[in-house]
Structure 1
Amino acid sequence: MALTALVLDVLSRVWPFFLLVGAGLALARLRLLDGRMTQGLSAYVYWIGFPALLLHSLSRLGRPGHDLLLGLVAYAGVGLLLMAATVAAGRLLGWSKDERAGAGMASGVGNSAFLALPVTAAVLGAEAARLVAGVVAVDFAVLATAGVGLLGWAAGRSVWRSTVQAFRNPVVAAAFAGVALALLDIALPEPLDRAVGMAAASGSPVGLVALGAALGLRETEGEAAPSGAPVVLAALVKLVAFPLLVWLAVGLTPAPPLFRAGATLLAAAPTAVNVFIQTRAYGVWPRGAARIVALTTAASAVTLAVAALLLTARVR
């Protein structure tokens, strides 16, 4: 009964995501959105929607204490390790650079802010959600930066140049700006904050519609479907390996047990729609990224519920 209730709770949180993805897919199949229009939606999210969203949300985080900081470092280390391992595995399996970069980013950057964090608050309590809010900053300021560097590398830049160029990415820059405002305890002027908040509210919904449109355009534009192996491996790394290793790694730090449980639950989040937006912007395996986002989000209705049930039993 407890598992059923958790699955239903997670489904109620996932369902709106699929409604928006379905809307984008339907518009594409009805030919109301074509490839150029979908790129326009993605460009809006890339330059305005997601940067505003990150600046608005991350600037409200508090400063982590010493123990929490070590827990966040452990989380970041696991994410970077798994992204590198996915890229290395892809090379051994003969994947293209685009597949390795796209799958690598998808295996590490999760939908922690809009799905896993609310689930954490509902299952583990408001205090757990407060403790693990910094994980959202790690996802976008550290893991997303590494992922964008991978995309730049796949697009033909050197590793060094792609890493430096990652900091010019509007989403990455907004993440760092938001974290800096939080650490310095600086608030945006009220009129600017309201404008950023309005743009922030549009980021995730428009991104999901663009994701659905990209899935719907798969056949109409005649492009080859992405290979299944990178999609499946990235999904398994994100939903299974990431939370397991975060549980072990954070357990080696002095971070509180409640943070350990919450960070593990956030690590189990499906791949973020931002991964699709970034791959679309760089022209690196966007359809594969779209499939990973859709697959992991669908699977998370069960995997997040199971993780929540196990972690709740541990905490209690």
Structure 2
Amino acid sequence: MNPALILLPDFLLILSGFALRRSGMLSPAFWAEAEKFVYFILFPALLFRALARAELDFAASLPMLASGLLFTGAGFLLGNAAKPLFRLPQASFAAGNQGAYRFNTYVAFAVMGSLAGTPGIAVIALLCGAMVPVVNLMAVWQLSQTSQQGMLYELARNPIIWGIVSGLAANVSSLPVPQPLFAAIDHLAAAALPLGLITVGAGLRFTALASHYAPLLYWNGIKLLLLPLIAVATVQLFGLSGVYRQATLVMSMLPTATSAYILAVRMKGDGELAAAVVTTSTLAAMLSLPLMLGLLY
């Protein structure tokens, strides 16, 4: 099937979230609480469900993890050039540079679910598990120069890490999860992606676009165009195939995480610029992701 058609339902959910937020039908307080509910409750349930009973081959996953580290590290290093190139203050640079290497896990799971079903979600969950601490360390390290918050504090309270660690622990230990409990988790997990994508759309903001168009173009060019090309090289380097190749390429094509804005605000960075990065990256990915999948998948 055409990649654009596969991804169309997910992008329609994002656009519906944007339309609902702008309609005023629901209060701003609702969207803040909905985002928190998805992030801290529903998404960890999805990760746990994907990993707890999956047939995982950790040895076969290592080349995929190495590939993810390589192209993510490349995005981080290339993004750093924006500070001298555009003469950005540290608070703006640290907030915006997240757009060059961070990834939206809601979109990751939605895309892999459409392409490869439950096995695809389990594999990209492993990749997320390896990469989430890495990208958070990068972001918190740069933002911590304008904040007193520490890296360990931010990592310890990350619900994505909770969900991945608990799912892997249940899988490796082979401890049975009672069926009623697993069924309840399954119901929560089923709501995670649609609500997550809707909150992504609701969080789109355009206030800083005009004043920062040059670095925004630079960071989005790295994240959405250059990183997929680097990922193709790493996939060939490590001989990845099947669902591991799919997950690696999809990860490299994702828009910036909405949590980049949350982290920037919490750590006294430039929240408006972070919101602009998330917004432009998400909208641009609606075109670049199907295009890149069609060309490279």
Q: TM-score range by the shorter chain?
A: 0.7 to 0.9
User: What is the root-mean-square deviation of aligned Cα atoms in Å?
Assistant: 3.1
Structure 1 pair 245–168 and aligned structure 2 pair: CA distance change class (3 A): same
Partner of residue 261, structure 2: 279
Q: Distance in 1 between matches of 2:247 and 2:20?
A: 37
1:18 has 2:3 as partner: no
2:110 to 114, 118, 121: 114
Shift of 1:117: 5.3
Q: Distance in 1 between matches of 2:103 and 2:47?
A: 14
Q: Distance in 2 between matches of 1:27 and 1:172?
A: 30
Partner of residue 35, structure 1: 28
Q: Distance in 2 between matches of 1:177 and 1:246?
A: 29
Partner of residue 265, structure 1: 249
Q: TM-score, normalised by structure 1?
A: 0.75
SS in structure 1 at match of 2:103:
coil
Shift of 1:257: 4.2
SS in structure 2 at match of 1:252:
helix
Q: Is the 8 A contact 1:45 1:203 kept in 2?
A: yes
Structure 2: tracts of 5 or more residues without a match: 266-270
Q: Which deviates further from its counterpart, 86-95 or 188-197? A: 86-95
1:59 has 2:47 as partner: no
Shift of 1:12: 1.9
Q: How many residues align?
A: 283
Q: Distance in 2 between matches of 1:190 and 1:57?
A: 15
Q: Is the 8 A contact 1:21 1:209 kept in 2?
A: yes
Amino acid at match of 2:30: M
1:246 has 2:246 as partner: no
Partner of residue 268, structure 2: none
1:47 to 27, 30, 40: 40
Q: Which deviates further from its counterpart, 17-26 or 86-95? A: 86-95
Structure 1 pair 23–77 and aligned structure 2 pair: CA distance change class (3 A): closer
Structure 1 pair 29–73 and aligned structure 2 pair: CA distance change class (3 A): closer
Structure 1: tracts of 5 or more residues without a match: 1-5, 309-316
Q: Is the 8 A contact 1:25 1:213 kept in 2?
A: yes
Structure 1 pair 59–224 and aligned structure 2 pair: CA distance change class (3 A): same
Q: Distance in 2 between matches of 1:234 and 1:60?
A: 37
Partner of residue 71, structure 1: 63
Amino acid at match of 2:253: A
Amino acid at match of 1:109: F
Q: Distance in 1 between matches of 2:82 and 2:3?
A: 32
Q: Is the 8 A contact 1:21 1:208 kept in 2?
A: yes
1:302 to 280, 284, 291: 291
TM alignment of 1:77-226, pairs within 5 A: 77-93=69-85, 94-95=87-88, 96-104=90-98, 107-109=101-103, 111-116=107-112, 118-119=114-115, 121=116, 130=119, 133-139=122-128, 141-153=129-141, 154=143, 156-157=146-147, 161-215=150-204, 218=205, 223-225=207-209
1:233 has 2:227 as partner: no
Shift of 1:197: 1.3
Q: Distance in 2 between matches of 1:183 and 1:46?
A: 25
Amino acid at match of 1:134: V
Q: Is the 8 A contact 1:20 1:209 kept in 2?
A: yes
Shift of 1:34: 4.0
Shift of 1:196: 1.3
Q: Distance in 2 between matches of 1:45 and 1:237?
A: 28
Q: Distance in 2 between matches of 1:224 and 1:87?
A: 18
Shift of 1:158: 6.2
- 4+ runs deviating over 6 angstroms: none
**Identity among equivalent pairs (%):** 21
Amino acid at match of 1:143: M
Q: TM-score, normalised by structure 2?
A: 0.79
Q: Is the 8 A contact 1:112 1:267 kept in 2?
A: yes
Q: Is the 8 A contact 1:10 1:304 kept in 2?
A: yes
Partner of residue 288, structure 1: 277
